[in-house]
Amino acid sequence: MLKDITIGQYYPTNSIIHKLDPRVKIIFTFVFMVSLFIVNTFSAYIFVVGMLAAVIVLSKVPFSYILRGVKAIIYLLLFTFVLNVLFTNGGKIYFEYGIIKITQDGLNLGFFMLIRLLLLIIGASMLTLVTTPIQLTDALENMLSPFKKMGLPSHELAMMMTIALRFIPTLLDETDKIMKAQMARGADFESKNIINRAKSMIPLLVPLFISAFRRADELAMAMESRCYHGGEGRTRLKQIKYVQRDYIALAILFFYLIISVLIRNYKIL
């Protein structure tokens, strides 16, 4: 289950999406997330899904690999759906038993939230799947650089965010190793009893925290030994700059946002 989490991982392949400027990919991810809350009809979501599907096809990332990330949070999606269905009233009543009531508005809101979360997670995963940590760092620092005059440490913030993303797969792998080691010693992580399951997580968290702090200390020592003192005066091996395909992608993104707004305001779909 832990290895099914794909966010923070990079999938190397030679595609037009991988070659795009990382700033364009960050902007696209942000606009895509905003558009999920702009559209408000099921037919409009078909347009949003079509846009995301086109990006996935062009990225050459296997759809089965992307679905692994969804599999890891399937219970969260189902919980969100059930919660919205049971606690939203309005419209036609389909089922009623005591305090439990399933209505038309509840089902509609439940499906909306399910689709939004699903697309949100896939869209966020795509950013890290098609962008290396180094590219993310450079892009974030470049986009935050105008705020340097206000005293914002753009380089440090970009570095922290990228390191956090980079260490997600590492910590998941470490968790998997600790779980297997403790299961070999009799630990039960698959018990149906929630209380027993929670108790078994305590001896897992302690070594995991120790391992995380140890890795953080090793990383700090490695950076200091290489004379790292922040972003002041540093140069990059590869300079990021916009080329023709980036401008085309931004133009497509602009039209996508305009159509999303028109769909909401004028009920085109």
Torsion of Cα atoms, 107 then 111 then 112 then 115, to 10°: 170
Domain span at residue 124 reads: 16-131+241-265
pLDDT for 26 equals: 92
Same-domain check for residues 206 and 247 = no
Question: What does the alpha-carbon distance between residue 46 and residue 137 come to, in Å, rounded to a whole number?
Answer: 33
Specify whether the CB–CB gap between 23 and 143 falls below 8 A. yes
Single pTM value for the model: 0.77
Q: Which helix (H) or strand (E) holds 103?
A: strand 100-103
Number of domains in the chain: 2
Written as tens digits, the pLDDT of the chain (269 aa) is 555 566 667 888 889 999 999 999 999 999 998 888 888 777 788 888 899 999 999 999 888 888 877 776 787 888 888 888 887 777 777 777 777 778 877 888 888 888 888 888 888 888 888 988 888 888 888 888 777 777 777 777 877 877 877 777 777 778 878 888 877 777 766 666 666 666 777 777 888 888 888 888 888 888 888 877 766 666 677 778 888 999 999 999 999 888 888 887 666 55
Are 109 and 181 found together in one domain?
no
Q: Could you tell me which of 220, 10, 32 has the C-alpha nearest to residue 118?
A: 32
Is 143 contained in some domain? Answer: no
172 occurs within a structural domain = yes
My answer on whether 256 and 217 are in the same domain is no
Domain assignment of residue 103, yes or no: yes
| pLDDT value of residue 6 | 64
Residues 172 and 47 in one domain: no
> What's the pLDDT at 193?
66
142 located within any domain: no
Cα–Cα distance between 4 and 180 in angstroms, integer? Answer: 16
Do 2 and 175 meet the contact criterion of CB atoms below 8 Å apart?
Answer: yes
